[in-house]
Amino acid sequence: MNWLPDRPWLRTLALAGTVVAAVFLLWQSDEPPVIDDEAAALRGDAEPDGFVVNGKYTSFDESGNLKIRFSSPRIEQFEEGNLATMESPRAELYGGENTLPWIVEAENGSLLQNQNLVYLTDNVRIQRTVGERNATLTTSSLTLDNDRGMVYTDAPVEIRDVTGITRATGMKAWIDERILELNSQVEGRYETGN
Measured from the Cβ of residue 66, the count of other Cβ atoms closer than 10 Å reads 13
Q: Does pLDDT of 14 surpass 70? A: no
Domain count, the chain: 1
Higher pLDDT, 1 or 88: 88
For residues 108 and 89, what is the distance between their CA atoms, to the nearest angstrom? 6
Report the CATH number at residue 77: 2.60.450.10
Considering the domain boundaries, does residue 116 fall inside one? yes
pLDDT band per the 50, 70, 90 thresholds, residue 151: confident
Find the angle CA(132)-CA(107)-CA(176) to the nearest 5 degrees. Answer: 40
Considering the domain boundaries, does residue 139 fall inside one? yes
For residues 190 and 192, what is the distance between their CA atoms, to the nearest angstrom? 7
Report CA-CA distances (Å) from 75 to 6, 39, 132, 166: 63, 16, 35, 33
For residues 112 and 5, what is the distance between their CA atoms, to the nearest angstrom? 64
Considering the domain boundaries, does residue 162 fall inside one? yes
Instruction: Categorise residue 23: left if φ over 0, alpha if ψ from -120 to 50, beta otherwise.
Output: alpha
**What's the rounded mean pLDDT across residues 32-53?**
67
Considering the domain boundaries, does residue 28 fall inside one? no
Considering the domain boundaries, does residue 153 fall inside one? yes
Q: Does pLDDT of 7 surpass 70? A: no
SS3 content of the chain, % helix, strand, coil (to 5): 15, 55, 30
Task: Count H helices and E strands in the chain, helices first.
Answer: 2, 11
Considering the domain boundaries, does residue 7 fall inside one? no
Considering the domain boundaries, does residue 53 fall inside one? yes
**What's the rounded mean pLDDT across residues 14-34?**
63
Range of the domain at 109: 49-190
Higher pLDDT, 1 or 67: 67
Residues 6+ apart with CB under 8 A from 150: 144, 172, 173, 174, 175
Kindly report the backbone phi and psi dihedral angles of residue 132, in degrees, each rounded to the nearest multiple of 5, phi listed first: -95, 0
Considering the domain boundaries, does residue 143 fall inside one? yes
